[in-house]
Structure formats: structure tokens, C-alpha cells
């Protein structure tokens, strides 16, 4: 896997390639980290600003949260790398089942 350390005694490891990969990886992480902080500030501003109604702010912050989760999963937990297909599939299936459950409770029991 690409996130392995370059000092793995395997002679066939292309250290140059690894280094380039890691640098790229690092750049992505810094960029997403900056973006995430930015999104957090946006969320605070949206909540603090008097002019927006709750009907706008709540869904807006939820969407921001979703974006953050995706960043977290893909850039910090390396789900963008190869070999993560099965975990990704189970993660989405689980989210789907949870989603169905919540929708059903909201619409069928409490509506």
C-alpha cells in the first residue's frame, strides 16, 4: 500500500517514487486541513450571524459537516487509496441502513 514507510527493507521499493507520493499526500493533507478550518469558521459565522433564519443555518451546517466527514475519510483516513474498496462499501451500506432507520422513525413514528 502506498502509505507504507519507505524504509521497509524490501529492495524492490522505489524510494524516489515513494517520496514523491508522500510529498503529494502531504500537500493534499495540508490543503484539506486548511479547507476544513475554513469550513468550520464558515459554520460559526453562519450560526452567529443574526440575518439567517434557522431554516437556512441548520441544513447548511449539516451539509458542511458532511463535507468534513468526506474529507476526514478520504484524505486523513486514506480511503482514497487503493485497497479500501471493501471497507468503503461496508461504510456506505452501514450509513444507508442507518439513514433508512432514521427516515422511517421520523416519518412513520413521529410524523
**28: number of CA atoms within 13 Å, CB side?**
16
How far apart are the two ends of the chain, measured CA to CA in Å? 48
Grid cell at residue 104: 422511517
Min CB(77)–other proteins separation in Å: 18
Grid cell at residue 95: 450509513
Nearer to other proteins, 1 or 108 (CB): 108
Residues making contact with other proteins (CB under 8 A): 86, 90, 93-94, 97, 100-101, 104-105, 107-109
Min CB(101)–other proteins separation in Å: 6
Nearer to other proteins, 41 or 100 (CB): 100
Min CB(88)–other proteins separation in Å: 12
CB-CB contact of 87 with 96 (8 Å) = no
78 in helix, strand or coil?
Answer: coil
Min CB(110)–other proteins separation in Å: 8
Nearer to other proteins, 26 or 104 (CB): 104
When computed from its CA atoms, the radius of gyration of the chain, rounded to whole angstroms, is 20
Nearer to other proteins, 77 or 91 (CB): 91
Amino acid at each position: 500500500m502506498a502509505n507504507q514507510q519507505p524504509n521497509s527493507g524490501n529492495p524492490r521499493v522505489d524510494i524516489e517514487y515513494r517520496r514523491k507520493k508522500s510529498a503529494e499526500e502531504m500537500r493534499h493533507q495540508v490543503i484539506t486541513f486548511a479547507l476544513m478550518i475554513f469550513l468550520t469558521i464558515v459554520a460559526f459565522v453562519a450560526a452567529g450571524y443574526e440575518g439567517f433564519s434557522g431554516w437556512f443555518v441548520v441544513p447548511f451546517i449539516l451539509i458542511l459537516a458532511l463535507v468534513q466527514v468526506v474529507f476526514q475519510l478520504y484524505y486523513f483516513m486514506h480511503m482514497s487509496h487503493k485497497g479500501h474498496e471493501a471497507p468503503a462499501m461496508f461504510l456506505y451500506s452501514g450509513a444507508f441502513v442507518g439513514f433508512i432507520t432514521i427516515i422511517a422513525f421520523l416519518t412513520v413514528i413521529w410524523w
